[in-house]
Chain A
Amino acid sequence: MAKRIDVAGLSAYYGPTRAIEDISMTIEPRTVTAFIGPSGCGKSTFLRTLNRMHEVIPGARVEGKVTLDDVDLYGNGVDPVAVRRSIGMVFQRPNPFPTMSIYDNVAAGLRLAGVKKKSELDNVVESSLKGANLWKEVENRLKKPGSGLSGGQQQRLCIARAIAVSPDVLLMDEPCSALDPISTTAIEDLISQLKSEFTIVIVTHNMQQAARVSDRTAFFNISGTGTPGRLIEIDETSRIFANPTEKATEDYITGRFG
C-alpha cells in the first residue's frame, strides 16, 4: 500500500552534466504531490530518480538518498527492477504496447513477472480497468489493440497497466499534457480517487492542474541555462498558491517569471 518517500541530498547527472542538485523532500503516503516549475528545471529528472528510471539512460547517475518507508532505494543489493515494481510510472505520452490487446496491456506487468493463472489475471485486469475508470468503455473490446483507443483512453489504459502490479507509489510525468480538456478532467478525477490507495507524485506544467489535484506542491527552478535545477520550496498546495515563502515561487505562480 501507499508508502512514504524521503529524499535527502539528491543530485542527478547526465554524463558530466548535473541536471538537479541537492534535493531533499518528504512525500507523504496517500497524498498527491505536484512538481511545478519552468521547462528544464529538472522536475521530470527528479521524478525519474524516484523509481530509478533515471539510470536507464546511458551515462546517467544519481547521488544522494531516496528511501521508501525506510528502505534505501539506491542501497546495495537493491534491484532497480524491484524498485520499479513498487513505484509505478505513467508517462507524458500514452504508450500502450502496440502488439498487445487492451487486456494484455493491463496484464503485461503481472505476466512478465510470471503470473499465469487466467482467473487471477482476469480479476486484476477488471479491477485495474475499473480503478482507471476505463472498464465501462472497454469491457466489450478487451481483445482489441490498445492503440485503437483515444488518447485519453490510452492514458487511462496506461494508468490501469501501472496500478495492475499494485505499486506503492504512482509517478506521473505530465500525464495530461498530450490530452484534450475532457480527457484531462477524467484523469484528474481519477487521480483524486487513486490517492486513497497510492502515494501519487505528478509533474505538471499546468498550475491550475497542480492546484486542483494536489495536496502538496513542490516548486523547482533553475538560475540559468546550463545550471542544475533546484527545489525552491515544498509546502501545502494552498499555501504555495496563496502565500509562498519564496519570492521566486510567487513570481512563477503569478506569471511574473524571469
Chain B
Amino acid sequence: MSGITPTATRPTPRPGGGGSAIALNSGTRRGDAVFSGAVRGAAILLLILMGAIAAFLVYRAQDALSANTANVLTYTGTWAPDDSPPKFGIGALAWGTLVTSLIAIILAAPVAVGVALFITQYAPRKLAQVLGYIVDLLAAVPSIIYGLWGILFLVPHMQGASQVISDVLGWLPPFESGVFGRSVFTAGVILAIMILPIIAAISREIFLQTPRDQVEAAYALGATRWEMIRLAVLPYGRSGVGSAIVLGFGRALGETIAVAMVLSTSSIFVTKLLQPGGNTIAANIALQFGSAFTTGQGALIASGLVLFVVTFLVNWLARRITKHGGEAKERRGLGGLFRIGRGGESMHMESSYDAPAPSEATGSAGGPVAAGLGSPLSGTVPASRGAFEAKDSAPEVVADEAAGRGRSHRAPRVAGLEGGVLAAPSGSRRLRSGLAGGLSVATFALAVIPLASILWLVVSRGSHALNLDFLTHSLRNISESDPGGGVYHAIIGTVEQALLAALMAVPIGLLVAVYLVEYGRGMLARAVTFFVDVMMGLPSIVAGLFILSLWIIGLHQMANGFAGALALMILMLPIVIRSSEEMLKLVPDSLREASYALGVPKWRTITKIVIPTALPGIVTGVMLGVARVMGETAPILLVVQYVSFINGNPFDGSQGQATLPTVIYSTFTSPEHASNDRTWSAALLLILIIMLLNIVARLIAWWRRPNNT
C-alpha cells in the first residue's frame, strides 16, 4: 500500500494526536460500498413497489374488463358491473372528477397564493409566524372532518349560495336553476377548502426562501413592495408554486371521502353544476365497494387504475413544466465550484450567489421563464422588465413601505442617477402596491372563514360528549340511540396502524432520501424522484385498492389492522422521503466538505454529520406523516373490516379493527342524537390527536434547530 496509509508510524506532533486509528484500509471502502448498496437497494425497492401497484391493479381489473359489454373509457351510463351482462364505463365519473377538481383549483389556487403572500410579505413578522403555523395545522385536518363539516354545515348553507349564483349567472347553462346543496359545485367548494391550506403552506415555504439579496436588490432599485414581490419573490417561487397547485389538483382528483359524503351521487353526466347528481371515480369506489361482487370489485379496481394513470399523467406534466427551469439552473451551477446535479431548490440559492450585479440578478430571475416555465405566474417577467426600465428613466428615491414594518431590510434608496432628484414613487405605482396588499389581506380573510367554521363546529359539537368514558369504552353493544359508549377501540386501531406504517415507511424512506440527495445521479435517481412525485399524488383510495388486490384478494390475507398499516405505509413513504430529502438538501455542502477534508469516508459523513444535522427536520417530517395517515379513511374502508369492539391485535386474522375516521364514517348518517354526539366527539378527538402530533413535531423542529447564524 501507499505511504500515506500508515499514519500510525508517523511521529505525532502532540500526545495522542491522531496517531492511533487513522488507518487507511479497505474497510472505509467496504463501508461505503455496503452503505451505498443499501440506499440503492431501497431506491430500487421503491420502483418495484410502484410497478407492483400498477401491475396488480391491471391484473385484478382484467376479468371485469373482458366481461364488460361497454367501452370502459367512454361509456357514460349507469355503473352496473354486477349485472349480467356487466356494463360499466368511467365516462361520467371521470367527467365528474375533472369538474369538481377544476372548480376546486380555480377557487383555491388564487386564494392560496394570496394567503401565502400575505403571510410571508405583508403580515407583521410575529403574526406571520402564527398564521403560517395555523395554515400548516389546517393542511393536516383529515378529509373525513371536511366531509363531516361539508354534509352537516356547508350543504345546508350552500342552498342559499347556489340560489344567489344561479340568479346572477343563471343565463349560463352550467349555472341554471340551482337551489340544491349536494351538488357538484358544493363538492368543488369543499375540495377547494381542503386543498387551500396545502397549496398555501407549500407556497409560503417557497416564498420564505426567496434569497434575501434578491429582495434587497429589488428594493435597492427603488421597487415598491408589490414590485419587489413581482421582481424577486414570484419569479423565485414560480416553479414551486406551480407544483404546489398541481399537487393540490392531484389531491382534489383523488379525494374520496369528503366528496362521497357531500355529493348526492348519481350516474348522470354532469352539465349543471348547481344541481344534484354526478359522481367521481374515487367516491364511486368508496361508495360501491361494500356492495360489489367479483366483477364489481374488478370494475372498481379498473376505475382506480384509471385514477392512478391520471394522477401519474398530471405529475408527469408537472415535472415537464418545471424540468426546464431545473435544467437551466443545473447548467448555471456547472460553472461554479460546488454542488452540481443536486437540482431542486438548493440550486436557486446557488444562482443567487452567482449573480454579482443587479442586472445579472434579473437575468437569473428571468432565466427559468425564458426556459419555458408555463406557470400562470410567468407574467411577472414583463413586470420586472418594466421595473428596471423605470429605474433607468426615472431616477427617484422610493421610500419603502416595508421600513415601517420592523423588518430587517433597510429602507432602500436609489441614489439619483442624475444629480439626486428625490421623489416619491408615482401615485399609480403606490396605488397598485396598496391594492395588491389589500387583495392579499382579503384572500386571507376569505380563506380563514370556512376553516374557522370547521374548527368551531367540531369543537362546539364535539366537546360535550368527549369525556373519560368516551376514551375508555368501545361501541360494543351500543345502539345508535343509546347514550354512552366511546372510541377506545378506534383509538387503539388508529395508533397501532399508524405506528406499524411508520415502522415500515421510515427506514425505507430515509434510505431512499439519502440515496437521492447523496448518491442519486442518472437514470435511477431520475426515476426514483419521479415516482416519489407520483406516489405523493397517489390517491389514498388507490393505495387501498392495491393492498386489497395484492394482499387480501391475491394473497388471501385478512382485512385486519396490518392490511391497513400496509396501505398507510404506501401513503407515508413519499411524505417521509420528500421531507427527509428536503432536510438533507438543506445541510450545507460545506459541512460535507469539512468532513471529507478530515478524511472521513462518505458513509460516515452521511451517518454522523449529515443525518444528525438534518435530524430534527426528519423527525418532524415523520411525525407529520404519521399525523397525515392517522386521518385516512378511504383506504382503511377498503382493507380493514370495521368492528365496533376492542381488538388490540392488528395481526389478528379473524377480525378487523376500528379507527377514528372509520368510526366517523360509519356513524355520520345516523339520525340519532346520541350517535351524532359520538361522531362529533370522535372528530374532535381525531383533530386533537393530529394537532397535538403536529404541534409536537414542530416543537421538535424548533427546539432542536441548530442555532447557526
A contact residues vs B (CB 8 Å cutoff):
1, 14-15, 17, 44-45, 48, 51, 53, 56-60, 68-73, 75, 77-79, 81-86, 88-89, 91, 93, 95-99, 108-115, 117, 119-121, 123-124, 127-128, 131, 145, 147-148, 158, 161-162, 164-168, 171, 197
Show 23 residue pairs from A and B whose CB-CB distance is below 8 angstroms, ordered by the A residue.
A14-B334, A15-B334, A57-B339, A68-B4, A70-B3, A71-B2, A81-B24, A83-B599, A84-B600, A86-B599, A98-B591, A99-B612, A109-B598, A109-B600, A112-B598, A124-B17, A127-B17, A147-B708, A164-B17, A165-B22, A166-B7, A166-B14, A171-B597
Q: Interface SS of chain A: helix, strand, loop or mixed?
A: mixed
Whether B7 pairs with A86 at a CB distance below 8 angstroms is yes
* Cβ B7 vs Cβ A123 within 8 A: no
Q: Counting CB contacts under 8 A, is B410 at the interface? A: no
Task: Find out whether the CB atom of B21 lies under 8 angstroms from the CB atom of A162.
Answer: no
Q: Is B419 an interface residue when CB atoms closer than 8 A count as contact?
A: no
Q: B416 within 8 Å of A by Cβ?
A: no
| Contact partners of B612 in chain A: CB under 8 A | 99
Known: A1-B11, A93-B590. A85 touches B334 (CB 8 A): no
Contact assessment for A81 and B334 in the assembled complex, using a CB-CB cutoff below 8 Å: no
Minimal Cβ-Cβ distance residue in A for B587: A98
Tell me whether A158 and B11 are in contact (CB under 8 A): no
CB pair A78 B707 closer than 8 Å: no
CA distance A18 to B604 in the complex (A): 31
* Minimum Cβ distance to chain B for residue A15 (Å): 6
With A44-B337, A53-B596, A60-B340 given, name 11 new contacts (CB 8 A).
A56-B592, A59-B334, A71-B4, A72-B2, A73-B4, A79-B26, A83-B599, A85-B7, A109-B600, A110-B18, A145-B706
- A166 to B600: give the CA distance in the assembly, Å: 14
Q: Does B28 contact A (CB under 8 A)?
A: yes
Using an 8 Å CB-CB cutoff, how does the interface string of B608-628 with A read, 1 for contact, 0 for none?
A: 110011010000000000000
Contact of A166 among B2, B18, B334, B706 (CB under 8 A): B18
Q: Which residues of A contact B1 (CB under 8 A)?
A: 77
- Determine if B127 is an interface residue (Cβ-Cβ < 8 Å): no
Say how far A234's CB is from chain B's closest CB, in angstroms. 22
Q: Are A79 and B707 in contact (CB under 8 A)?
A: no
- How far, in Å, is A100 (CB) from chain B's closest CB? 8
Among the listed A1, A75, A109, which residue makes an inter-chain contact with B2, where contact means beta carbons less than 8 Å apart? A75
By a CB distance below 8 angstroms, the chain B residues around A75 are: 2
When each residue 1-25 of chain B gets 1 if its CB lies under 8 Å from chain A and 0 otherwise, what string results? 1111101001111111111111010
Contact of B598 among A44, A114, A124, A165 (CB under 8 A): A165
Q: How far is the CB of A101 from chain B (nearest CB, A)?
A: 11
CB distance from A7 to the nearest CB of B (A): 16
Min distance, Cβ A199 to any Cβ of chain B, angstroms? 13
Report Cα–Cα, A70/B11, bound state, in Å.
18
Nearest B-chain residue to A122, judged by Cβ = B16
Q: Is B341 engaged at the interface, CB distance under 8 Å to the other chain?
A: yes
Q: Are A84 and B596 in contact (CB under 8 A)?
A: yes
Q: Which of A15, A113, A124 touches B16 (beta carbons < 8 Å)? A: A124
Expressed in whole angstroms, the minimum distance between the Cβ of B703 and any Cβ of chain A is 13
B16, B24, B29, B594: the one contacting A97 at CB < 8 Å is: B594
Query: What's the Cα separation between A171 and B20 when bound, in Å?
Result: 23
* Chain A hits for B609, CB < 8 A: 97, 108, 112
- Docked Cα-Cα span, A165 to B28, in Å, equals 17
Alpha-carbon distance between A141 and B2 when the two chains are bound, in angstroms? 40
Please state if A166 and B10 are interface contacts (CB–CB under 8 Å).
yes
Expressed in whole angstroms, the Cα–Cα distance for A115 and B17 within the complex equals 10
Is A124 a contact partner of B14 (Cβ separation < 8 A)? Answer: yes
| B707 contact set on A, CB distance < 8 A | 98, 145, 147-148
The verdict on A112 contacting B24 (CB below 8 Å), with A58-B521, A70-B3 known, is: no
